[in-house]
Amino acid sequence: MRKRTIRIRFARATCQESERVLSTPLLIDTDMGIDDAAAVCLALANEAVDVRAIVGVGGNVDLEQAVTNIDRLLTALNPPAMPVIGRGMDQVAEGLVDRRSVLGKDGFGEVDLAASGLPVVGFREAYREAIESAGGELTVLAIGPLTNVATILRESPELARSIRRIYVMGGAVLGKGNIAGVAEFNFHRDPVAAAAVLASGLNITVSPLEVTSHVSLDESNVAHLAASGYRTGEVLARLLAFPIEHDAGPQRGKFQLHDAVAAAGVLWPSLFMRTRMRLEITTEGEHAGRSKPALGGDPNTQIDLLTAVNAGDLLENLLESLCHEAFVV
Ligand code: RIB
Ligand code: CA
């Protein structure tokens, strides 16, 4: 009983916090697969953040499919304040893997969600507008390969230094990776970009695979979302059907919400434990994208690494956010 009371108190505290705290302006950089969609739904359903822009990057699927999926999701959700959509970059290396085998040919569970041709701007314009209009308060949630972020950092370093904080889903630092058991997909897909961003000295929080893998949705959670009567829950339930039905691996019947956990790091930081360290990224060879703790070096290039998560409370907050936000107008 005591645990339940704490949870209710926490939930009220969160609501009170969000009422007290001005919305954090947010730009989401995403390779728009299904766990990316969960992160976007979570951000759009929470008044603590104000989603100013959603920028596509190649990764789970190619760049054009990622941008189309952003349009499909926003068309289905029709949020009160429509974020700017940006077209970023794709990675050009030979033989790169994507994640369509897990997510379906379109990266979105092959569901019937139509794009409506929402306007799209270049990612440089989307970043500049979001950073300048936020006056030094912009948070970037990077939940795909860091190709766009590294390009902005390289081409416009002063603009990039006006970003308040960058939350990254990526890396497998104190645990196994999902690429050959060593690297994590986002860092593997563009290891040079990952190395450049993580060594930049910007305020960065990394949500690595060994933390994000602790939060999954199962069939009963999906049924709860589908019956919620709210657009965020219903749309997400449709996207989740494919991976939950088709995953024959150890995660059968469950779907890991890597990117939604990174988004939760922005919304509910008290649910995580963290440490500070420098990361060393392998930038070539079969272990490209591998991320390991680096000893010594410039302390100004350390990042915050999340090391543990209260998965139960995070899942409860996530389901409450996705099922109780009245998008239905
Ligand atoms: O390794 C998991 C990450 O790679 C997630 O962001 C997933 O969406 C893919 O981009
Ligand atoms: Ca992603």
How far is ligand 1, taken at its centre, from the CA of residue 9, in Å? 32
Q: Residue 179 — φ and ψ, nearest 5°?
A: -120, 110
Q: Which ligand is nearest to the CA of 207?
A: 1
What CA–CA distance (Å, rounded) separates 215 from 228? 20
List the domains of the chain with CATH numbers.
20-322 (3.90.245.10)
Question: Ligand 1 within 6 A of 189 CB?
Answer: no
pLDDT of the residue at 282: 98
Distances (CA, A) of 28 to 141, 167, 291: 5, 10, 22
Place of tokens 């940006």: 86
- State which of 28, 60, 173, 210 you would mutate to test the pocket of ligand 1, scoring each by most atoms of that ligand within 8 A of its C-beta: 60
Report the predicted TM-score, pTM, of the whole model to 2 decimal places.
0.92
pLDDT of the residue at 10: 34
Give the burial string for 242-257 (b: 16+ CB within 10 Å, else e). Answer: bbbeebeeeeeebbbb
pLDDT of the residue at 5: 39
Closest atom of ligand 1 to CA, residue 184: 1
Q: What does the pLDDT look like over 146-173, one tens digit per residue? A: 999 999 999 999 999 999 999 999 999 9
Question: Ligand 1 within 6 A of 144 CB?
Answer: yes
pLDDT lower than 70: segments of the chain: 1-21, 248, 325-329
Q: Give the pairing type, strands 24-30 and 49-56.
A: parallel
pLDDT of the residue at 21: 56
The distance from CA 122 to its chain's CA centroid, rounded to whole angstroms, is 20
Q: Ligand 1, atom 1: nearest CA belongs to which residue?
A: 185
Helix axes 34-44, 311-324, angle to 10 degrees: 70
pLDDT of the residue at 250: 72
Distances (CA, A) of 290 to 25, 192, 256, 300: 31, 11, 20, 21
Q: Which ligand is nearest to the CA of 212?
A: 1
Cα-Cα-Cα-Cα dihedral sign, residues 8, 14, 19, 20: positive
Closest atom of ligand 1 to CA, residue 31: 10
258 counts as catalytic: yes
pLDDT of the residue at 247: 76
- State which of 259, 261, 290 you would mutate to test the pocket of ligand 1, scoring each by most atoms of that ligand within 8 A of its C-beta: 259
How far is ligand 1, taken at its centre, from the CA of residue 272, in Å? 19
The token pair at 29 is 């950089």
Counting Cα atoms < 13 Å in the Cβ hemisphere of 30 gives 33
Give the burial string for 111-137 (b: 16+ CB within 10 Å, else e). Answer: bebeeeeeebbebbebbbbbbeebeeb
pLDDT of the residue at 47: 94
CB atoms within 10 A of CB 81: 8
pLDDT of the residue at 6: 36
Q: What does the pLDDT look like over 265-287, one tens digit per residue? A: 999 999 999 999 999 999 999 99
Catalytic residue among 214, 246, 258, 287: 258
Closest atom of ligand 1 to CA, residue 212: 2
